[in-house]
Chain A
Amino acid sequence: MTVVYEDLGDEAEGAVPVRRIRFSINGRKMVAEVEPRLLLSHLIRRGVGLTGTHMGCDTTNCGACTVQVDGKPVKSCTMLAVQADGHEITTVEGLAMEGAGGPGGVLHPLQEGFKEEHGLQCGFCTPGMMMAAKALLDENPDPTEEDVRWALSGNLCRCTGYQNIVKSVLWAAAKLRSESAG
């Protein structure tokens, strides 16, 4: 692996601390050299180059950056990259691989549900919504509308008014239940 960057001089290099971390992302094992203050969301977007995880605010409110770390939903803007050392990250790009039928190209029922029920318009909040919804369905495969609204209350959307997002998640829950039953 070749890495090339500008030589800012010995003093500059000494001034910036670097940590080496190992983590897996969507099943791929990675190594990175990062500043301690680098946000996990920036590691994912700029370091690994997976731009499906979006950043929409600077106060942990919007949830567009939601990913899963060791299966739990996390707002990646509020976690440091160094904290991901030794952990497994799943992003929206990894959803399809987990879908029925094996890796690559087959959509997760959540992705299908959002398309079926018009659960997105501009698409910017959508990856975070789906990752938060996935965390809900992992724990509760048969949620009520209230359960869904509560579980998604950490994710902001400006376009849809949430009604179709709720329908999308319930559609996905139904499909997942029928797949595991059948």
Chain B
Amino acid sequence: MTQALDEIKIGGLGASRKRVEDDRFIRGKGNYTDDITLPGMLHMEILRSPLAHARIKSIDASKAWDIPGVHLVLTGEMMATRNLAWMPTLSYDTQAVLATDKVRFQGQEVACVIADDPYIAKDACEAIDVDYEPLPVIVNPKQAVADGAPVIRDDKENQPDNVVYTWEVGDAAGTDRAFEQADVISRLQLHYPRSHPSPIECCGSIADFNRATSKLTVYMTTQAPHIIRAAVALVAELPEHMIRIISPDIGGGFGNKVPVYPGYVCSILASILLERPVKWIEDKTGNLISTGFARDIYLDGEMALRSDGKILGVRMHCDADHGAFFSDAQPSKFKIGLLHSAFAAYDIPVAHLQARGTYTNKAPGGVAYRCSFRVTEAMFFQERMVQAAAGDLGMDQAAFRRMNFVADEDFPHRTPLGFLTDSGQYAKCLDVGLKAVGYEDFRKRQEEARAKGRLLGLGISTMTEPLGAGNSREYDILGIKMFDSAELKVHMTGKAIVRTGARTQGQGHETTWAQIVAHELGIPAEDIVVEEGDTDTAPFGMGTYASRSTPVAGAAVAMVSRKIRAKARKLAAHLLEVSEEDIEWELGRFYVRSAPDRGVTIQECAMAAYSNMPDGMEPGLENTAYYDPPNLTWPFAVYIATVEVDPATGVWDVLSVVAVDDCGVRINPMIVEGQIMGGLTEAYAMANMQFITFDAEGNCVGSNYMDYLLPTAWETPGFELHSEVVTPCPHHPIGAKGIGECAAVGGPAAFVNAVIDALSGTGVRNIDMPLLPDRVWEALTHHRDVSGAPPVRSDD
């Protein structure tokens, strides 16, 4: 008669356990960076450039210094005397902290003021006089490489032009041959517009240098505290052990809170100089105009097709607009991130991808916003090309995808661009999605509606993505390998604390990591507290972004729990006075195989670790695990959207959204669904209304919430989520895969494909996102594709 605990009851795997972190947030007792006050704290504000490209002739801060309550005014010149005007980026480039010779994008940091109070600091910023000499402005890659284009990065040696890198992967010659064999070649050119993660909470830091102890503590909105500690050690030339980075509660990250921003560096220097805590909290305009944006990349893609629909080869050329500095956080070997994961779910024999990155007079970045290192771009390009190809062939969208999917029995599968996928049931996911949306029936209704002049559309998008960067053979950031860690301490009464090197920003780690421990050890999840974010106490990890936490840190939690269980087994044998070989485990309990009623609970083992150890055993029940993943994990999803387009206005409404997500084993189904819905909303936002663009002078359009449109509860559609398909990850200790970004990766194409489908018959093959009403109207009225690339016309 088993005495195993009920896994769901104790909050193990599969339990939709209510969240631990909610208790403080619903009471308004969260601890976000701006909520923290330190004794003697001063406030910092940043002065930003109004021009996109200009030489700085002079800066006069004398009036600012004169304002009562101002303690320090920092300029690039002052930073330069301390070698801090420029800092290294996470992509082996350099970035200005405060501008010295030129400003290179509108909103760039030019000076900062530290004062008693943020209002005084803002007053003082306005009193600083900067004399600019405007220079010609570049707002897209075409301008960047045109003859006679000004060199933006004339601060760099060996930088004669505006090209950051070129990169390629795949088989160029083989792909050319495939194209020679093609019956049909389908070509698509599009722009994935600049977007911004825009979590509601902006970035900020409180730097506190303690002269008495020589220790620097920085509270910071960061998704990767250990990376920041290393970066600060490098930039500020302080010893690593005297730096403590604390990431308190974070109000949303989405990749925006990974890079090192000039504001952080200035607040640190100010604290060191003034020997007082210095708080810097940016405003929304600062966040949107200067921090890590996402996307802004051009695709020129071609697909070689056989007339029966088989894809023979794919060619992609991608032009990435990086802004003024190459500052992405991304694996160093892959200049364009994991864009070459495109088409991983399709059985394509050969492919070739070429990429180029350019500098422009815009904020720096490119890798952010739930992108999994540019997989958002990869999957969007993929599904837009697939849509166009099926249309060019006159084939049904679902049938075309189905016939080209990698079959279930063909794993492991090596993709033509160098990835190894290991598991999936792609056709089954598609079947579930099509059934849920009522595919056949919809096509009938679509035809009937068209006869009456109503435009209904259905869009399919599929995605698979490499999540859990990453194995040490291929993945590193600035040379540091991308492993992660978990430390588990079981106390004498069987309660426990687990700390990891990840950093939750709403994904629910305080709830879910405890669930993994409960699964492995039978300790109820409510008896386990989870902590992350303080580099003095958390084991080393590379932080939370790119959906890597469940795959890597979660795996570490499972592995350290198993180390604890292995030791507990020895203790059990000692307590039960049998040899270890006679011991069996069931959830929460060890027992004697030949006498199952004789057993000890995990709690009794814990007590024994402190009070009754066998001879020769180290006391205590605590351990740490560092996990170097053998491979990435590959969730798969199908997203289907149906829409109706109003032909008179170009406005489109969403009728339904169906999501079928296969992310392997789900630790907490409720939390997984929350992640999917969040991602689908961001997908809808990008498809419908949200983007940042620039006019010909480099003025940023979309630097505040009046211009940068986020959907509210009113516009956002409802979502129907499906979880029937579960393909466990073959190499993850609990069979889980990443999920946090999947819907943002795969979602946008579902909406765009739906609108394009609604317009079928007009010959329109592409409208750039966002599909604003005027763009849709232009397309369907004039029967032409519509681009959205900058510069936006000033008469728009």
Contacts and interface: CB of A to CB of B under 8 A. Distances in A.
Interface string A117-129: 0101111111100
Given A115-B19, A121-B506, A150-B714, A8 B69 contact: yes
A143 interface: no
B505 A122 contact: yes
Contact of B713 (A57, A111, A130, A153): A153
B746 to A, nearest CB: 15
A158 B28 contact: no
A11 B505 CA distance: 46
B710 A161 contact: no
A52 interface: yes
B201 interface: yes
A80 interface: no
A122 B28 contact: no
Interface string B177-218: 000000000000000000001111110000000000000000
A24 to B, nearest CB: 18
Contacts of A58: 283-285, 704
B616 interface: no
A52 B28 contact: yes
A152 interface: yes
B508 interface: yes
B17 to A, nearest CB: 10
B788 interface: no
B34 interface: yes
Interface string A37-74: 11000000100001111111111011010000000000
B119 A35 contact: yes
Interface residues of A, number: 61
A149 B711 CA distance: 11
A126 to B, nearest CB: 5
B200 A125 contact: yes
B674 A164 contact: yes
A61 B706 contact: yes
A155 B713 contact: yes
Give the dominant DSSP class at B's interface.
Answer: loop
A94 to B, nearest CB: 9
A82 B682 CA distance: 38
A63 B91 CA distance: 36
Nearest to B504: A122
Interface in B253-279: 253-254
Contact of A52 (B27, B119, B198, B253): B27
B32 A124 contact: yes
Nearest to B671: A118
A123 B712 contact: no
Interface stretch (B139-147, B244-252, B620-628): B244-252
A17 interface: no
B284 A121 contact: no
B507 interface: yes
A76 interface: no
Q: Which of B27, B29, B505, B682 has the most A CB atoms < 10 Å from its CB?
A: B27
B68 A12 contact: yes
Contacts of B680: 161
Contact of A155 (B671, B677, B712, B719): B712
Contact of A116 (B18, B29, B718): B18
A173 interface: no
B705 interface: yes
By CB atoms of chain A within 10 A, which of B22, B671, B680 has the most? B22
Given A9-B68, A125-B200, A158-B198, A111 B678 contact: no
Contacts of B198: 158
A123 B251 contact: yes
A8 B680 CA distance: 53
Nearest to A51: B35
Contacts of A171: none
B21 interface: yes
A153 B714 CA distance: 6
Interface in A101-119: 107, 111, 114-116, 118
Contacts of B677: 160-161, 163-164
Interface string A62-98: 1010000000000000000000000000011101100
B713 A158 contact: no
A171 to B, nearest CB: 13
Most B Cβ at <10 Å: residue of A56, A64, A126, A148: A56
A154 B283 CA distance: 19
Contacts of B647: none
A158 B116 contact: no
A137 interface: no
A157 interface: yes
A139 interface: no
B678 A159 contact: yes
User: Which 9 residue pairs across A and B have the least CB separation, nearest first?
Assistant: A52-B28, A124-B251, A123-B25, A122-B506, A161-B677, A121-B506, A61-B705, A12-B68, A92-B28
Given A51-B28, A114-B22, A125-B200, 14 more contacts: A12-B69, A53-B28, A55-B34, A56-B201, A96-B27, A120-B19, A120-B506, A123-B30, A124-B200, A124-B252, A126-B25, A127-B28, A161-B679, A163-B718
26 contacts: A8-B68, A51-B32, A52-B29, A52-B30, A57-B284, A57-B705, A58-B285, A64-B200, A107-B27, A115-B19, A118-B19, A118-B671, A122-B250, A123-B249, A124-B32, A126-B26, A149-B714, A152-B714, A153-B714, A155-B713, A156-B705, A158-B681, A159-B678, A160-B674, A161-B716, A165-B713
Interface of A: 6, 8-9, 11-12, 15, 35, 37-38, 45, 50-59, 61-62, 64, 91-93, 95-96, 107, 111, 114-116, 118, 120-127, 130, 148-150, 152-166
